Amino acid sequence: MRATVIYGAGDVRVEAVPDPVIQRPTDALVRVVRACICGSDLWPYGSMPDSDTGERIGHEFLGVIEDVGSEVGGLARGDLVVAPFVWSDGTCDFCREGLQTSCRHGGLWASNGIDGGQGEAVRVPQAWGTLVKLPVAPDSALLPSLLTLSDVFPTGHHCAVKAGVNPRTTVTVIGDGAVGLCAVLAAKRLGAERIILMGRHADRTDLGVQFGATDVVAERGAEGIERVRELTGGDGTHAVLECVGYRAAVETALGVVRDGGVVSRVGAPQYQDLPLDFGTFMRNITLTGGVAPARAYIGELLPDVLDGRVEPGRVFDRAVGLDGVPDGYRAMADRKALKVLITP
Ligand SMILES: [Zn+2]
């Protein structure tokens, strides 16, 4: 089969790799119907040291089951399924607590001999705990939105949930990437009436407004903080959803959060330390967030996607075949595409 392999910064190739086969009785084989490129794939795309062997890449996909191991209950050949961006057994204590990202028998895609999602097929370990069956046909118009259940939409939702967003909280979302826009959608879905979106790409913040943002702040840094404070009577918002991952974004978050409020982070941190000083202490700021246990949220979010109440798939603004994947990476890295959908 063919799959995406990254050889270093800016060097993504699509090439022949071994066909996946069932290795353990808990495995399933999934033929990928849709996959996509994640903002977090841009971190290795921007900085990975050159490698002779390359590494598989991609962690968001949905597809049709081609085969299952003897211990995979509840799933059968022909089922359309979505995979969250971490695989997990569904039975350990962490999984039962809804923290599948800490599963004692789970792991990441595209590492340690596990297939990546940006290819024609994937061997799925712990298939019973990992995969979620989708009650639609494999040519459904809902596929883009259903694909976002693998990562971006649950990540935005997790950010809002950890921040305690509800109809009484005012919200600032920092970042107009796909996760930031999904965080707007999630905050709106949880009932927030005031959602300030900080981002400077007008086409993206326009979509954010359609997703539920009530105000857009294009300014950054001290100017952006001042603008949000102006919009909130000088106080800032109860909840701040940080969807970028740079230290500057966290500094902005601490600047726009209201005293007693919550800063929730889902941007993969590209920094080593945080400015949590005496002033932050005196303001009783809660810092939370982290990697989203997407698997825990799919059951809750799926019905709203199926009946069209939310359309997170609108974050995809470019579609490519497998051969177009290298161009897709370039377009996202150059900020010419928000998020790229792949049809292998
Ligand atoms: Zn587990």
Quote the ligand 1 centre to 130 CA distance (angstroms).
9
Quote the ligand 1 centre to 122 CA distance (angstroms).
20
Per-residue 3-state assignment (H helix, E strand, C coil) for 66-106: EEECCCCCCCCCCCEEEECCEECCCCCHHHHCCCHHHCCCC
Sequence letter at residue 149: L
Quote the ligand 1 centre to 59 CA distance (angstroms).
18
Quote the ligand 1 centre to 95 CA distance (angstroms).
4
Tens-level pLDDT at each residue, the chain (344 residues): 999 999 999 999 999 999 999 999 999 999 999 999 999 999 999 999 999 999 999 999 999 999 999 999 999 999 999 999 999 999 999 999 999 999 999 999 999 999 999 999 999 999 999 999 999 999 999 999 999 999 999 999 999 999 999 999 999 999 999 999 999 999 999 999 999 999 999 999 999 999 999 999 999 999 999 999 999 999 999 999 999 999 999 999 999 999 999 999 998 898 998 878 898 999 999 999 999 999 999 999 999 999 999 999 999 999 999 999 999 999 999 999 999 999 99
Whole-model pTM: value is 0.97
Quote the ligand 1 centre to 129 CA distance (angstroms).
8
Domains with residue ranges and CATH for the chain: 2-151+293-343 (3.90.180.10), 156-289 (3.40.50.720)
Whole-angstrom distance, CA of residue 128 vs CA of residue 72:
5
What is the token pair recorded at 115?
Answer: 């297939």
Quote the ligand 1 centre to 65 CA distance (angstroms).
22
Quote the ligand 1 centre to 184 CA distance (angstroms).
29
Asked if residue 43 lies in contact with residue 246, where contact means CB atoms within 8 angstroms, the answer is: no
Q: Which residues pair with 341 in a beta bridge?
A: 36, 319
Q: Is 166 exposed, middle or buried (0-12, 13-18, 19+ CB in 10 A)?
A: middle
Element (H, E) at 281: helix 278-282
Whole-angstrom distance, CA of residue 141 vs CA of residue 29:
24
Quote the ligand 1 centre to 94 CA distance (angstroms).
6
Between the CA atoms of 254, 245, 85 and 336, what dihedral angle is there, to the nearest 10 degrees? Answer: 120
Residue 201 in 3-state DSSP?
Answer: coil
Those residues whose beta carbon sits under 5 angstroms from the ion ligand 1 are 88-89, 92, 95, 103
